């Protein structure tokens, strides 16, 4: 018998083992439609397993992401003899479901994922029954293992890693020849990287790693159930060696610099992997594959390859498609023979994070519609295209949007100010923090909110200068220095006031100018405008929290029909997950990487003009932001404030 608890209703029912969840729900008095009659084809009865486990036979109907987050079809999932808790929402709605994954919030948009994905991970586990040895039969332990595998999976080339061979005598004899092999399928070649006694097929784990210049994120995945077990992120320890890619490259040129950078990022990754494993009672050596997605420079540094020639003309990377490596070679502390697959880089400035991120979009889908993808990070990349072409460019935005290089900046973690309202009359801030605890700092979206609201209420001008009239107690100034205080020393958890200085705002404005002008120039190069785009994807670790209206207000994204924007969060990490889970995605990604054409903006005429023009809020040419312009005009009508600008339609503040 099995105890099944349903949430949020709290109803509990005891049913026989093997009962399907649909029948259990009905026994508990919970009703929902099952148009296909329990055949597992309509997808109407999707529910989420919160605790415990079920035998899941769901197929095809549920999206990839739904499965990843624990969804099963109630009619195709059977309970076992362990208690299970099922989340059964009143109105089941998966589209845009907000998935809370540990310390980060990720928005997953399953409709963006490849529809006909197939569960086909890089690494699989198989149960093998090895026949016992007979006296001097001429077969070694290895021969017996290979024969047993061939009987089951055909006459493949089977190669066992040294570690497997070394332990084989004990492994084969521990459970009378019943072993579980972990296999990397590389075309017609099977590589056995692990062999365990007994049936361990349900314990197959992988990690997806997003290596950003500022932030590193790691996801632990149960490949057997496709569930994401944990997500962990932290600042890249390399930050201490420079805030952006160029300063890291310079640092790598010092004696011992490259080695230090390599060790720092490895330590960051290994710390996150260890935490994610620990929280799930999984030994790191049980993790048998990894997909790493990072920009080209980050990939070089993680591998200890000099990035020098990425910086010097003709800007040549050592490798775009990194050969498949072992965890031991890369220095990631999981199973030493685990395969580490690097998302392929497309060019020197468009890396594996972008080819992973594009897997969460329809940019190269079979359509004439032109779409745009922007990944907002320390290094920002923009890709535009459709089935016929894919063009990309990159720019350095700096770490401001991730809280880096901002005096009171921090990551979007517990205690970070993420919402800031500004009182039009007094200029005072009303704020809220992640987790509702006393503030410890301000994250990137908090700074953007703050800047947008200060602009909208007239306490900052389009050039990013704070009001020095003394009318607001929140604005402190002395000579050329001014700052906007959000939380006082008494309110803050650190005992010091939390503020944003004009210098901080300048960093943000430079960052948004770089990104906006990159988009504009790339489109100009192709000969189209923003209005020709059917969709804009915005990716980045902070994507989930970003308020589109605020991003538009400061001119980070174009003023554009709101429904064409899609925030896809940390697309690099989500794309890595997809590659872990299905070789279909891996092939798509390789095609994407090879198809993209890189445009070097810095050598384009008009580059500096476009950038300089974007150094205002929202833009020097406010006609590019008609709805924002209108709202600024409206909000300032009453008190006569006008944003300062050299251009017609907006007048200098008196």
Positions in the binding site for a copy of itself (CB under 8 A): 133-143, 159-162, 165-166, 168-170, 173, 303-306, 308-309, 313-323, 325, 329, 345, 347-348, 598, 600
Q: Give me the least distance between CB of 67 and a copy of itself, in Å please.
A: 34
Ordered DSSP codes for 392-446: EEEEE--GGGGTTTSTTB--SSTTEEEEEEE-TTT--EEEEEGGGSPP-EE-HHH
CA distances from 72 to 64, 96, 117, 610 (A): 11, 17, 16, 50
**Residue with smaller CB distance to a copy of itself, 428 or 595:** 595
**Residue with smaller CB distance to a copy of itself, 26 or 336:** 336
Give every CB contact of residue 282 below 8 A, 6+ residues apart in sequence: 203, 205, 220, 229
Q: Give me the least distance between CB of 281 and a copy of itself, in Å please.
A: 29
Q: Give me the least distance between CB of 389 and a copy of itself, in Å please.
A: 15
Q: Give me the least distance between CB of 598 and a copy of itself, in Å please.
A: 6
Q: Give me the least distance between CB of 391 and a copy of itself, in Å please.
A: 13
Q: Give me the least distance between CB of 156 and a copy of itself, in Å please.
A: 15
**Residue with smaller CB distance to a copy of itself, 93 or 134:** 134
Number of Cβ atoms within 10 Å of the Cβ of 158:
18
Alpha helices in 175-235 (DSSP H): none
**Residue with smaller CB distance to a copy of itself, 1 or 136:** 136
d(CA 648, CA 131) in angstroms, rounded, equals: 86
Contacts by 431-437, CB closer than 8 A, 24 or more apart: 431/486, 431/487, 437/493
The helix (H) or strand (E) run that includes residue 159 is: strand 157-160
**Residue with smaller CB distance to a copy of itself, 342 or 567:** 342
Q: Give me the least distance between CB of 190 and a copy of itself, in Å please.
A: 13
Q: How far is CA 100 from the centre of its chain?
A: 13
d(CA 343, CA 321) in angstroms, rounded, equals: 8
Beta bridge partners of 185: 190
**Residue with smaller CB distance to a copy of itself, 161 or 457:** 161
**Residue with smaller CB distance to a copy of itself, 46 or 331:** 331
**Residue with smaller CB distance to a copy of itself, 1 or 603:** 603
Q: Give me the least distance between CB of 327 and a copy of itself, in Å please.
A: 12
The helix (H) or strand (E) run that includes residue 217 is: strand 215-222
Q: Give me the least distance between CB of 131 and a copy of itself, in Å please.
A: 11
d(CA 209, CA 212) in angstroms, rounded, equals: 9
| Beta strands at 481-487 and 475-478: parallel, antiparallel or unpaired | antiparallel
**Residue with smaller CB distance to a copy of itself, 221 or 394:** 394
């Amino acid at each position: 018998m099995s105890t099944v608890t349903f949430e949020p209703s709290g109803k509990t029912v005891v049913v026989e083992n093997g009962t399907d969840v649909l029948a259990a729900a009905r026994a508990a008095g919970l009703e929902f439609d099952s148009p296909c009659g329990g055949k597992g084809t309509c997808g109407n009865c999707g529910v989420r397993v919160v605790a415990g486990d079920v035998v899941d036979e769901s197929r095809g109907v549920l999206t990839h992401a739904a499965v990843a987050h624990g969804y099963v079809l109630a009619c195709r999932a059977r309970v076992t003899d362990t208690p299970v808790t099922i989340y059964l929402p009143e109105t089941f709605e998966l589209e845009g479901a907000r998935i809370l994954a540990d310390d980060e919030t990720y928005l997953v948009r399953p409709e963006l994922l490849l529809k006909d994905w197939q569960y086909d991970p890089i690494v699989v586990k198989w149960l093998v029954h090895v026949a016992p040895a007979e006296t001097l039969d001429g077969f070694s332990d290895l021969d017996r293992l290979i024969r047993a595998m061939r009987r089951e999976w055909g006459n493949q080339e089977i190669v066992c890693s040294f570690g497997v061979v070394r332990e084989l005598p004990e492994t084969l004899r521990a459970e009378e020849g019943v072993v579980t092999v972990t296999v990397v399928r590389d075309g017609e070649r099977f590589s056995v990287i692990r062999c365990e006694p007994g049936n361990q097929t349900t314990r197959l784990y992988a990690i997806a790693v997003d290596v950003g210049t500022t932030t590193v994120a790691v996801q632990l995945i149960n490949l057997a159930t496709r569930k994401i077990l944990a997500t962990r992120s932290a600042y890249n320890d390399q930050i201490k060696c420079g805030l952006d890619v160029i300063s890291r490259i310079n640092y790598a040129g010092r004696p011992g610099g490259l080695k230090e950078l390599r060790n720092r990022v490895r330590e960051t990754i290994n710390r996150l992997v260890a935490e994610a494993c620990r929280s799930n009672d999984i030994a790191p050596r049980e993790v048998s594959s990894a997909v790493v997605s990072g920009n080209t420079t980050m990939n070089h540094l993680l591998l200890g390859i000099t990035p020098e020639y990425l910086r010097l003309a003709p800007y040549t990377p050592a490798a775009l498609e990194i050969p498949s490596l072992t965890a031991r070679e890369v220095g990631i502390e999981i199973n030493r023979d685990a395969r580490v697959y690097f998302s392929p880089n497309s060019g020197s400035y468009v890396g594996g994070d972008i080819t992973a991120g594009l897997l969460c979009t329809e940019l190269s889908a079979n359509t004439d519609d032109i779409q745009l993808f922007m990944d907002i990070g320390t290094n920002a990349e923009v890709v535009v295209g459709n089935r016929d072409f894919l063009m990309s460019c990159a720019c350095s935005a700096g770490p401001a949007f991730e809280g880096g290089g901002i005096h009171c900046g921090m990551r979007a973690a517990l205690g970070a100010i993420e919402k800031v309202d500004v009182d039009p009359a007094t200029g005072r801030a009303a704020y809220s923090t992640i987790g509702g605890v006393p503030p410890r700092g301000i994250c990137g979206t908090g700074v953007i909110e703050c800047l947008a609201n200060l602009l909208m209420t007239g306490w900052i001008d389009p050039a990013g200068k704070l009001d020095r009239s003394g009318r607001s107690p929140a604005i402190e100034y002395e000579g050329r220095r001014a700052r906007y205080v959000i939380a006082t020393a008494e309110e803050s958890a650190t005992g010091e006031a939390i503020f944003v200085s004009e210098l901080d705002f300048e960093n943000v404005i430079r960052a948004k100018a770089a990104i906006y002008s990159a988009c504009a120039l790339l489109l100009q190069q192709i000969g189209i405008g923003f209005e020709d785009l059917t969709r804009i994807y915005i990716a980045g670790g902070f994507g989930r929290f970003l308020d589109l209206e605020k991003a538009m207000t400061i001119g980070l994204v174009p003023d554009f029909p709101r429904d064409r924007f899609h925030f896809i969060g940390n697309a690099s990490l989500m794309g890595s997950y997809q590659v872990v889970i299905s070789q279909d995605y891996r092939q798509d990604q390789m095609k994407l990487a090879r198809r993209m054409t890189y445009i070097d903006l810095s050598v384009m005429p008009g580059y500096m003009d476009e950038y300089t023009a974007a150094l205002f809020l929202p833009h020097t040419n406010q006609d590019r932001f008609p709805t924002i312009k209108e709202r600024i005009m409206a909000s300032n009508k009453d008190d006569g404030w006008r944003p300062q600008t050299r251009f017609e339609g907006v007048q200098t503040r008196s």
